[in-house]
Amino acid sequence: MEWGAVSSEGKKVSTVLESRSQRTLSPYDGVIMGADMGGSYGSTLRYKSVERIKPIGKQTLLGVSGEISDFQEILHYLDELIIYDHIWDDGNFLGPKELHNYLNRVMYNRRNKSNPLWNSLVYLGMVGMIGTYYEDNHVVTGFGNHLTRPIMRAEWREDLTFEEAVKILEKCLFVLLYRDRSAINKFQIYKITEEGVTISEPYALKTFWGFSAFQNPTKGAEGSW
Amino acid sequence: MALRGDWVYENNGGTCVAIAGSDYCVVAADTRLSVGYSIYTRDYSKICKLADKCVLASSGFQGDMKALQKNLAAKHLIYQHQHNKQMSCPAMARLLSNTLYYKRFFPYYTFNILGGLDNEGKGCVYSYDAVGSYERTGYSCQGTGGNLITPVLDNQLKSPSPLLLPSRDAVTPLSESEAVDLVKDVFASATERDIYTGDKLEIIIVNATGIRQEFLDLRKD
Distance in Å, alpha carbon of B42 to nearest chain A alpha carbon: 9
Catalytic residue among A15, A24, A60, A148: A24
Question: Residue A33 and residue A195: Cα distance in Å, rounded?
Answer: 16
What sign does the CA torsion over A155, A161, A167, A170 have?
positive
pLDDT, residue A92, reads 80
Is A75 a residue whose pLDDT tops 50? Answer: yes
Among chain B, residues having any CB pair with chain A shorter than 8 Å are: 1-3, 5, 7-10, 12, 33, 35, 38-44, 61-63, 66-67, 106
Residues on chain B touching A2 (C-beta within 8 angstroms): 1
More confident residue, B63 or A38: B63
**Is A212 at the interface with chain B, CB within 8 A?**
no
Distance in Å, alpha carbon of B38 to nearest chain A alpha carbon: 7
pLDDT digits (tens, 9 = 90+) for A148-192: 899 999 998 888 888 888 888 899 999 989 988 888 899 999 888
pLDDT, residue A7, reads 27
Distance in Å, alpha carbon of A57 to nearest chain B alpha carbon: 26
Mean pLDDT of B75-88: 97
B8/A130 Cβ within 8 A: yes
ipTM of the prediction: 0.91
Is B211 a residue whose pLDDT tops 90? Answer: yes
Is A41 a residue whose pLDDT tops 90? Answer: no
- Report the residue of chain A nearest B2, measured CA to CA: A13
Strands B54-60 and A196-199: unpaired
pLDDT, residue A23, reads 56
pLDDT, residue B106, reads 96
**Is A161 at the interface with chain B, CB within 8 A?**
no
CB burial of A129-138 (b: ≥16 within 10 Å; e: otherwise) equals bbbbbbebbb
Q: What is the pTM of this model?
A: 0.89
- Report the residue of chain B nearest A130, measured CA to CA: B8
Question: Residue A98 and residue A59: Cα distance in Å, rounded?
Answer: 11
pLDDT digits (tens, 9 = 90+) for B145-193: 999 999 999 999 988 887 888 888 889 999 999 999 999 999 999 999 9
Is A79 a residue whose pLDDT tops 60? Answer: yes
Partner residue opposite A114 with nearest CB, options B8, B12, B39: B8
B3/A7 Cβ within 8 A: yes
A133/B8 Cβ within 8 A: no
Residue B29 pairs in a beta bridge with B16, B202
- Does the annotation mark A207 as catalytic? no
φ, ψ of residue A199 in degrees (nearest 5): -115, 125
pLDDT, residue B4, reads 64
